[in-house]
């Protein structure tokens, strides 16, 4: 993947196909997350739904719970950083910009907003109007 890349679709039929494919993939991810979460709740909840403290779980239960937490985190990140949705705003129906340093996709609107915001902060910092240090690593990743 190139460092900076915008994937843009123009035709209404292609837009519809793209958006629907993204939705299908995100729904599949969400279904997987629900399965993982359900198994986690079976481990960390008693018969009436009250949560069981982690230190009261059997070692095998705790091991499985930690595996599920890891699976949940990986599955969530795969979807959140995929081209299916903007990493910043979560919209799934936009043209996307690949931000290589963050290994994530941002919609073009968020990319432009974040780029302008960073430029304004730097300009204010130079003029002494902004006392905090802008997040250079994040801001510069959009240029």
- Interaction of residue 75 with Zn ion, rule CB under 5 A: no
Q: How many residues would you count in the chain?
A: 143
Taking a C-beta distance cutoff of 8 angstroms, is the pair 92, 106 a contact?
Answer: no
Task: Give the nearest distance from C-beta 110 to Zn ion in angstroms.
Answer: 3
**21 interacts with Zn ion by CB under 5 A:** no
Shorter beta-carbon distance to Zn ion: residue 36 or 110: 110
- Return the range that interacts with Zn ion (CB under 5 A); candidates 22-30, 60-68, 103-111, 116-124: 103-111
Task: Kindly tell me which of 54 and 89 has the beta carbon lying closer to Zn ion.
Answer: 89
110, 114, 121, 141: which one binds Zn ion (CB under 5 A): 110
* Residues in 77-96 that interact with Zn ion by CB under 5 A: 86, 88-89
Give the torsion through C-alpha atoms of 53, 57, 59, 61, to 10 deg.
-110
Kindly state the smallest distance separating residue 9's Cβ from Zn ion, in Å: 16
- Using a 10 angstrom Cβ sphere, with 0-12 exposed, 13-18 middle and 19 or more buried, the burial of residue 36 is buried
Q: How many CA atoms lie within 13 A of 103 on its CB side?
A: 3
Nearer to Zn ion, 65 or 106 (CB): 106
Task: Let me know if 93 is exposed, middle or buried by CB neighbors in 10 A (0-12, 13-18, 19+).
Answer: middle
């Amino acid at each position: 993947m190139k460092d900076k890349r915008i994937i843009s679709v123009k035709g209404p039929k292609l837009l519809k196909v793209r958006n629907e494919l993204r939705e299908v993939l995100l729904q599949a991810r969400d279904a997987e997350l629900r399965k993982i979460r359900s198994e986690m709740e079976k481990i960390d909840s008693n018969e009436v739904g009250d949560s069981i403290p982690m230190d009261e779980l059997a070692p095998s239960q705790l091991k499985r719970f930690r595996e599920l937490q890891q699976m949940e985190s990986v599955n969530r990140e795969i979807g959140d950083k995929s081209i299916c949705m903007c990493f910043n705003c979560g919209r799934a129906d936009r043209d996307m910009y690949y931000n290589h340093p963050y290994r994530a996709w941002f919609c073009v609107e968020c990319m432009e907003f974040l780029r302008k915001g960073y430029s304004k902060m730097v300009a204010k910092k130079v003029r002494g109007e902004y006392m905090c240090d802008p997040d250079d690593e994040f801001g510069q990743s959009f240029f």
